[in-house]
Every structure is written in structure tokens, then in C-alpha cells.
Structure 1
Amino acid sequence: MSLEANLDDLRQHAEDFDRRVGFTYTVLSVPGDDVIGCVYIYGSRQDPGVTDVRSWVRADHASLDAELYRVVSDWLAREWPFERVAYAPR
């Protein structure tokens, strides 16, 4: 992705967040502030009663993918008011 396309993507995510129609979070390394992945939370395009969640981690941190899934799943269940979440298990 070009820098310009990436900036456009970031602007769209920020606009979605401001409008409360989608939420994108950066996953950072600990310790440090190295970006190692992302989490996307959006309403389903196919089913209005479902919240779609996607996440990824960089290939050099692939071993953290299942842990990210667990942490995000727990966080959503504990803190978010979603009735149904579609988040592909790891």
C-alpha cells in the first residue's frame, strides 16, 4: 500500500470512529510502541444484528495471533454491548 493510500485509509478509520460506525485499534508491542497489528470492529454488512471483528498481527509476531484473539474476545464480552459478534476463532 502506498503512503498516500495508507493515509486515506487512516482518515477513513478516524471518520468511522468519530461517527461511531466502526472502531479500529492499533496493536502495539510491549514493551515499546512498535506497531505489530490491528483490530477492526464494524457492524456486519450482511446482518445488522452482528458485529464483525477482524484482527491481524505482523508475520514476525504471528505467535501472538491466538493471544490477541483471546484478549480481544474477552474485552468485547466484558466491555462492549454487542449481542452477536462474528470473530473467526484461532
Structure 2
Amino acid sequence: MSQAADEPRDTTHDGDERTGETGAPFVPADFTIPRGFSDGKIHLVPLGPEHNDRDYRAWTSSMDHIQRTPGFERYGWPVPMTREDNLRDLRRHREDFEHRIGFTYSVLIDEDVIGCVYIYPAGPPGHAVVRSWVREDHAELDERLYELVSEWLRQKWPFRGFTYSPRTEKRDFAAR
């Protein structure tokens, strides 16, 4: 749920959002997309329409907090929208996932949606921009999620590098 379905998509990268600036695919065709991960408490699963009610409650309860989260300060989301608009947005994220052009994960604790992680192409081929947020009532988990996702991207994804707004002094990461 980055923005309403009729709003523009993430424009932080150059070129076609399916392939990046040179026409190279975002991830190699033979790469198996991770279906998520778990550290025993925090679980990431692909975001989809089945999360609509929980997802809608999560971000609408924390709009000001999300707008202050690193990576969202000048992003222009969240903005008020209806559950139906949110459902369209979740369907778009699912389509992006299925077409391998972007990957959005729900962040769950005990089946409760507490946030999201977005992975989309950025800059040169093989690079990604990553954003994440957690609900205000789980703000203490933001840095932990950042660290978990950063390590997961380095270990399990084929990116040459990624940009993920820091919760610490780190800024850009080389994948390997």
C-alpha cells in the first residue's frame, strides 16, 4: 500500500519500472523470489488482497508516524483513502510481485499486520530502493526490522546494492 491505485507509482528509479534504466530485468529470470522470512517473532509474507482489513487498520492508525519514518519523509504517502482504494493498491502490489517488477511484504506478528516492506528497482541495473514502516504502537521494532531486512537482502537477494533509509549511520549497501 504505497499509494492509491490511480496515484503515480514509485518514481525514485530511472527507466521502466519493470526493468530499470537499461532494460535489464529487476531480478534474474531464474531467481526464486523469497516468499518471506521469519526471525521467530517478525514474519514477512507477500502483501496481497487478503491483508486488506489488517493492512488498512495498520497504516491508517499510524499515518503521521509513517510520514516521519526514514524513507517516507518526502514520499507523499500515506494519504487518506478508502478500504476499496487500499484493496486496489494491494492488488497492484500483488501483480508487481507476480510480474517480478517489485516486491512488497506485510510485516506480521501473530498474524497482525504491523508494517510493510517495499523492494523496487532503483538506479543502475541490479540495484533496489527499499522502504519499510511499522505501526506507531510497534515503533520500537523499526530498527530491528531495518537490520533484519538489510541482512536478508544481502544474503538472499541477487542485488548488486540497495538503498534503504538508515535507522543507523549506514546509508547504501553493497550486496556482497
Query: What per-residue deviation string (whole Å, max 9, x for no partner) do you get for residues 43-74 of structure 1?
Result: 02xx1332000000000000000000000000
Query: How far did 1:84 drift?
Result: 1.4
Following TM superposition, the consecutive aligned residue runs of length 4 or more in structure 1 with deviations greater than 2 angstroms are none
2:119 paired residue number: 41
Residues paired across the two proteins, number: 86
- Say whether 1:23 aligns with 2:103: yes
3-state secondary structure, aligned to 1:82: coil
3-state secondary structure, aligned to 2:111: coil
Bigger radius of gyration: 2
The residue identity in structure 1 corresponding to 2:97 is F
Identity %, equivalent residues: 59
Higher helix fraction: Structure 1 or Structure 2? 1
1:55 paired residue number: 132
1:77 paired residue number: 154
- Say whether 1:87 aligns with 2:164: yes
- Give the gaps of 5 or more residues in structure 2: 1-80, 168-176
Partners of 1:28 and 1:58 in 2: CA distance: 11
Q: TM-score, normalised by structure 1?
A: 0.92
**Coordinate RMSD, CA, aligned:** 0.8
Higher strand fraction: Structure 1 or Structure 2? 1
- Give the gaps of 5 or more residues in structure 1: none
